[in-house]
Structures are given as structure tokens and as C-alpha cells.
Amino acid sequence: MTWYKVTEEGKLKDGDIFKAKVGETEFILMNVSGKYYATSHLCTHEDYDLSEGFVDNGTLICPNHFATFDPKDGSVLSPPEGAGDISPLKSFPVKVENGSVMVEV
């Protein structure tokens, strides 16, 4: 696991979702009320690209069937209605260092 600079602090506004790729690993970086979190970018329901989703009230929402995830750890807050259990997203450590937002991949 290595830390990579993904963006600079202040470039993502509150609620913004940014998709990034390091090597073969794609992930999304989110600004949630001034804190940054990173998770895998594909919804675990039907692989919808969560960079097209949105953050509302501290929750990551898939716009396809409205599964909700916790940006902090990728856990499932609610699966799509009638879909049964779905897997959590993979979560990546994030830190801010000298104005750079770094993700450990």
C-alpha cells in the first residue's frame, strides 16, 4: 500500500465526488462536510459508477436504485428496496498533508 496525491485541498467542494485511478485501482474521493473519504467506485448492487452518485447528509447515494453507503467506511446503510443484502464498498485511508489530499492504495 502506498500513499498517492489525488488532489489538492480545497479543489473538491462539500458534496463533490471525484473519480481517480492509481494503477489498476479506481476509486472515488468525496468531500463530506470538509472531510475526505475514499471508497471503491462501483456500486455493489449492479456496478453502477458511483462517481455519478451524490452525497447528501453525510450519505453516499447510488442514483441507479438508491442504495446508500457510509462514505467513512463503505458500509451499506440501506440496500435498494427489495434487493436483499449487498456488500459494502472497499474503503481506502485518506489523509491531508501540506495541502495535498492523499489516498493509500
* Interface ranges with ligand FES (CB under 6 A): 43, 45-46, 48, 62, 64-65, 67, 80
Any residues with CB less than 8 A from the CB of 99 and at least 6 apart, and which? 8, 9, 10
- Kindly report the number of other CB atoms within 10 A of residue 96's CB atom: 12
Look-up of cell digits 498533508: 97
Give the residue from 16, 64, 72, 62 showing the smallest Cα distance to 41: 62
Closer Cβ to ligand FES, 5 or 19, answer by number? 19
To ligand FES, the closest distance from the beta carbon of 53 in angstroms equals 8
Closer Cβ to ligand FES, 64 or 100, answer by number? 64
To ligand FES, the closest distance from the beta carbon of 12 in angstroms equals 22
Closer Cβ to ligand FES, 18 or 48, answer by number? 48
Phi, psi of 52 (to 5 degrees): -95, 5
To ligand FES, the closest distance from the beta carbon of 34 in angstroms equals 26
